[in-house]
Structure 1
Amino acid sequence: MSTETPLRRTRFRLGSGRATRSRAVAGLTALLLPLAAMVGLASPAEAATSATASFVKKSDWGSGFEGQWTVKNTGTTALSSWTIEWDFPSGTAVGSAWDATVTSSGTHWTAKNLGWNGSVAPGASVSFGFNGTGPGAPTGCKLNGASCDGGSVPGDNAPSAPGTPTASAVTDTSAKLSWTAATDDNGIKNYDVLRDGTVVSTVTGTTYTDSGLTAGTDYSYTVQARDTAGQTGPVSGAVKVRTTGGGGNPDPGTGGKVNLGYFTDWGVYGRNYHVKNLDTSGSAAKITHINYAFGNVTGGKCAIGDSYADYDMAYTADKSVDGVADTWDQPLRGSFNQLRKLKAKYPHIKVLWSFGGWTWSGGFGEAAKNPAAFADSCYKLVEDPRWADVFDGIDVDWEYPNACGLTCDTSGPNALKAITSALRAKFGSNNLVTAAITADASDGGKIDAADYAGAAQSLDWYNVMTYDFFGAWDAKGPTAPHSPLNSYNGIPQAGFNSADAIAKLKAQGVPASKLLLGIGFYGRGWTGVTQDAPGGTATGAAPGTYEAGIEDYKVLKNSCPATGTVAGTAYAHCGTNWWSYDTPATIGSKMTWAKSQGLGGAFFWEFSGDTANGELVGAINNGLK
């Protein structure tokens, strides 16, 4: 996407780990996870039925991580003390710890409460944290000498995961769930049914009808088995269910055209732009889809981009979509939970999780070596029971297959097709699978480097990045609009415009309906410019709020108003600065052109560049009608 992204993306990613550390020291801010899904169970001398212990990596920076254990009293009498024991694989160790005394014997670790936090009342929890080194996860957990999941019998294995539920008889207010039975060496006692990660019922059979639901609302269901000794096994895969009916806010009325915007995880920091802003600006009522950017691509797998922003950041009531503050012990916080609330208010919106981007596209080369394994990792992450209901699919932002971006890829012309085919096979027909792609239509350019027509067969659409054609990376110019709709006399590079990009993709065999026209909600500019019209010389990048050479539309519309148009977009010359950017008027013209080409709609990078009342989002919405 915008080249502003990787610089700011890296800075905030590094900073979020330090912020998380200080919060962990302050107190109980855990994201609780069922231990049985993460670590192996020990075989204690007797079952513990009054407390559980759970572990989570609150942040992970490759060579190390921040870990947190949480003890929860599930019984009816207070705990007077607690001791957690676990094993780490060789090469993984605890460094500094807080709120507990941690010791080790080889790879075996023991944590004991301090004098002030040993007593845990019924229903209460207490946590401690540490900074760890190495990549491993804990196994063999014991709490006060017994199983950390609250019950175990020597020699008795935990049950298997039940089959992924299927849904039937879906109505406005109910849905019937069915699943294949789990297995256990001594028999299954019952099943917990979880809706959006929370247990809603415990049943003895393999069916359950959930009622009292809201019409026109998305839900995610999983199932977890419990054996006759009280041990729980791993949760099943998730099934998404959308109840019928529903009113709420109407769809944006674009006649089936897509109006998609990118929401960046790092925008919640310096930009102070949150999911609630989509509501207060009026943008949520005018869009159809959101791409949440970005998840990482590393080691051939999909990975979390920023765990704190994504699912751990606590929202106060004034910054929350529904005006309700997060609590320290709720299972999901951060932007993911805010997106869940936004979808409840605007049921027509679909959300995709976008992976890669300028900074993290280097990981796709490794992913292309085993597309099936990559797709499996992405599915497990996107469909994690904690947030499966938030996402309606996946977007891959590979910059660029078999070509150069921040790094150069040599995976070959068929790599993108192999990855998209594997993603479609794994995610199935009920999820969206999309990709952001180059708009370089020059002879022998990036569009020529990959089989975009072949990959399109597995995709719902392409986000064609028809912006950033020109900018102050050419410090001396010539000045040129970064998002020209078509060519013009004096354009610095043939094939660097939207019309040529769309034409080349169509000629390759990509259906027009699978192409979205890209709009940038920012301008690119130079300084040291004396010429008003495009083609002038410059001395360098114009100053910008976050990065030289780039500035949000919401700033430019007032600081440097447009003085002319060229190739279907606007430019502005103010003082010695020269900027190009789209305005509501040029966006309207571009939408008219997109419709004339039979395109599937439009997308934009990104929400926070728009005005507080969402005038650019509104221009796209109006233009697509």
Structure 2
Amino acid sequence: MRVVPVLAAMALLAGCSAPADPPRPAPSAAGPMPRVVAYFTNWGNDQVRDVETSGAAGRLTDLVYAFGKVTDGTCATGDTWADQGRPIAARNSVDGVADVAGQGLRGNFGQLRKLKARHPGLRVLWSFGGWTGSRGFTEAAQDPGAFARSCARLLRDPRWAGLFDGIDVDWEYPNACGLTCDESGPQALAGIVAALRHELGPDAVVTAAVPADLGKLRATDYAAVARHADWLSAMTYDFFGTGGGTGPTAPHSALRAYPGIPRPAATTDAAVRGLLGLGVPPEKVLLGVGFYGRGWSGVTSAAPGGQATGPARGRYEEGLEDYDVLRRTCPPTGTVGGTAYAFCGDRWWSYDTPETIRTKMAYAVSTHLGGAFAWELSGDTPDAQLVTAMATGLAAPS
């Protein structure tokens, strides 16, 4: 997952009451309950309380907290102030009770503990790495056992012992290039995940975020990774971006190829088939959904494939905006390849909607995948329309 500048928080009234937990997806006769997973980031103004008041907590099976750091080959906290130091006011607290200095766990960790108390079935994972935080994995891969022991010590720290049910490894990318390049070899990630499984035990949740680019997938033995992981989260979004600025316009997370797509293999379906072709069992693959759009400006063509003069303006990053904003400022005007796009004025955006997410969930069910995950919760609506579409879509029969 890319660490992007602050995404919008959901503004919720302090007096809102928490909705009752709706039913999560039920197990099918063919396998266990599908996972409904979403990331929550430790930057920005979004609150753990938003996960509660929106109803998302009652829909999710797993919440992934991003990010911890990988420093000198070991696990470390990512933002000590946000994680455990920041006092939370009553209006932003899950239970409406303010943090008191010197009394209990503060920050997001304290709120996550309160959230879990309200939703005993919700598992919380701690994710390490991310787009800007993956450099340390190269050193960690040189001694996976030492890395795993450091992670276990951190997860079991007495200040928050019992909060985290496991760990998510977000290495972008093993034996390939992301923000930096790695040459640790095709077994490096498998070694790290196997060491974590050994150290944390069979009941812990151990997962890994994996690329959707076929070339990067071939650089690592993901079948070996899957043998030790509960699931692999396929980052099936950001296939096309607005970095070049001039187009052609293309949806960043198409489910399937469509006529005129710039790269036919840049789709969710191609990535999923790529993972399955490498020997990863389908029940260990989660389909990724982005809760944001990518867009261009200076566009004159409503259909995909048009030229542009530059990225569209976003509140925190050019070419990027939350779904909750786009649904109001530039609503969909069409669909292509199983995702939505919007042409408004001279701006062209692509993003998923509740309707296209349900289409993707139907694909996940028909392909017998283990579920789906979202990057990330702050882009959803105040009433969790996107998470709801994931949960109800995965619960529907194939």
Q: TM-score range by the shorter chain?
A: over 0.9
Tell me if the contact between 2:87 and 2:101 (Cα under 8 Å) persists in the aligned partners. Answer: yes
Tell me if the contact between 1:439 and 1:447 (Cα under 8 Å) persists in the aligned partners. Answer: yes
SS in 2 for 1:358: coil
Q: 1:557 aligns with which of 327, 333, 336?
A: 327
Q: 1:357 aligns with which of 121, 124, 130?
A: 130
**Matches of 1:380 and 1:493, distance apart in 2:** 44
Tell me if the contact between 2:371 and 2:394 (Cα under 8 Å) persists in the aligned partners. Answer: yes
Structure 1 residue aligned with 2:30: none
Find out whether 1:414 has 2:176 as its counterpart.
Answer: no
Q: How far is 1:494 from its partner? A: 3.1
CA deviations over 1:339-387 (Å, ceiling 9, x no partner) = 0000111111000000000010111101111111111111111111111
Q: How far is 1:328 from its partner? A: 0.3
Structure 2 residue aligned with 1:60: none
**Matches of 2:317 and 2:277, distance apart in 1:** 37
Structure 2 residue aligned with 1:259: 36
Tell me if the contact between 1:481 and 1:571 (Cα under 8 Å) persists in the aligned partners. Answer: yes
Name segments (4+ residues, structure 1) moved above 2 Å: 5-9, 248-251
Shifted more, 545-554 versus 327-336: the winner is: 327-336
Structure 2 residue aligned with 1:297: 70
Tell me if the contact between 1:250 and 1:348 (Cα under 8 Å) persists in the aligned partners. Answer: no
**Matches of 2:391 and 2:82, distance apart in 1:** 28
Tell me if the contact between 1:249 and 1:347 (Cα under 8 Å) persists in the aligned partners. Answer: no
**Matches of 1:370 and 1:291, distance apart in 2:** 25
Structure 2, gaps ≥5 residues long: 8-19, 28-32
Tell me if the contact between 2:21 and 2:59 (Cα under 8 Å) persists in the aligned partners. Answer: no
Q: 2:157 aligns with which of 376, 379, 384?
A: 384
**Matches of 2:239 and 2:155, distance apart in 1:** 32
Structure 1 residue aligned with 2:13: none
Tell me if the contact between 2:5 and 2:316 (Cα under 8 Å) persists in the aligned partners. Answer: no
Give 2:369's aligned amino acid.
L
Structure 1, gaps ≥5 residues long: 10-247
SS in 1 for 2:59: coil
* Residue correspondence of structure 1 range 601-612 to structure 2 within 5 A: 601-612=371-382
CA deviations over 1:284-335 (Å, ceiling 9, x no partner) = 1111100000000111011110001001111111111111111101231110
Structure 1 residue aligned with 2:360: 590
Tell me if the contact between 2:21 and 2:55 (Cα under 8 Å) persists in the aligned partners. Answer: no
Structure 2 residue aligned with 1:483: 253
Find out whether 1:522 has 2:292 as its counterpart.
Answer: yes
Find out whether 1:547 has 2:317 as its counterpart.
Answer: yes
Structure 1 pair 559/6, CA: closer, same or farther in 2 (3 Å)?
A: closer
Tell me if the contact between 2:298 and 2:308 (Cα under 8 Å) persists in the aligned partners. Answer: yes
CA deviations over 1:71-119 (Å, ceiling 9, x no partner) = xxxxxxxxxxxxxxxxxxxxxxxxxxxxxxxxxxxxxxxxxxxxxxxxx
Q: How far is 1:338 from its partner? A: 0.3
Structure 2 residue aligned with 1:400: 173
**Matches of 1:531 and 1:408, distance apart in 2:** 37
**Matches of 1:339 and 1:606, distance apart in 2:** 16
Tell me if the contact between 1:295 and 1:305 (Cα under 8 Å) persists in the aligned partners. Answer: yes
Tell me if the contact between 1:249 and 1:345 (Cα under 8 Å) persists in the aligned partners. Answer: no
**Matches of 1:576 and 1:543, distance apart in 2:** 11
TM-score normalized by structure 1?
0.60
SS in 2 for 1:360: coil
Give 1:291's aligned amino acid.
V
Give 1:622's aligned amino acid.
T
**Matches of 1:494 and 1:422, distance apart in 2:** 37
Q: How far is 1:6 from its partner? A: 4.2
Tell me if the contact between 2:291 and 2:386 (Cα under 8 Å) persists in the aligned partners. Answer: yes
Structure 1 residue aligned with 2:17: none
CA deviations over 1:249-273 (Å, ceiling 9, x no partner) = 4652343110001000003xxxx21
Structure 2 residue aligned with 1:280: 53
Give 1:377's aligned amino acid.
S
What value does the CA root-mean-square deviation take over the aligned residues?
Answer: 1.2
SS in 2 for 1:266: coil
Q: How far is 1:282 from its partner? A: 1.0
**Matches of 2:141 and 2:173, distance apart in 1:** 12
SS in 1 for 2:103: coil
CA deviations over 1:377-416 (Å, ceiling 9, x no partner) = 1111111111121100000000001111111111111111
Larger radius of gyration: 1
Give 1:252's aligned amino acid.
R
CA deviations over 1:440-469 (Å, ceiling 9, x no partner) = 12xxx1011111011110000011000000
Find out whether 1:307 has 2:80 as its counterpart.
Answer: yes
CA deviations over 1:167-208 (Å, ceiling 9, x no partner) = xxxxxxxxxxxxxxxxxxxxxxxxxxxxxxxxxxxxxxxxxx
Tell me if the contact between 1:397 and 1:435 (Cα under 8 Å) persists in the aligned partners. Answer: yes
Structure 1 residue aligned with 2:90: 317
Structure 2 residue aligned with 1:426: 199
Give 2:58's aligned amino acid.
A
Q: How far is 1:7 from its partner? A: 4.5
Give 1:596's aligned amino acid.
S
**Matches of 1:277 and 1:292, distance apart in 2:** 14
Give 1:265's aligned amino acid.
N
Structure 1 residue aligned with 2:14: none
Find out whether 1:371 has 2:141 as its counterpart.
Answer: no
Give 1:327's aligned amino acid.
V
Aligned length: 378
Q: Which one has the bigger helix percentage?
A: 2
Find out whether 1:512 has 2:273 as its counterpart.
Answer: no
Find out whether 1:339 has 2:109 as its counterpart.
Answer: no
CA deviations over 1:561-610 (Å, ceiling 9, x no partner) = 10110000000011111000000100011100100000000000111101
**Matches of 1:334 and 1:259, distance apart in 2:** 25
TM-score normalized by structure 2?
0.93
Structure 2 residue aligned with 1:210: none
Structure 1 residue aligned with 2:230: 460
SS in 2 for 1:532: coil
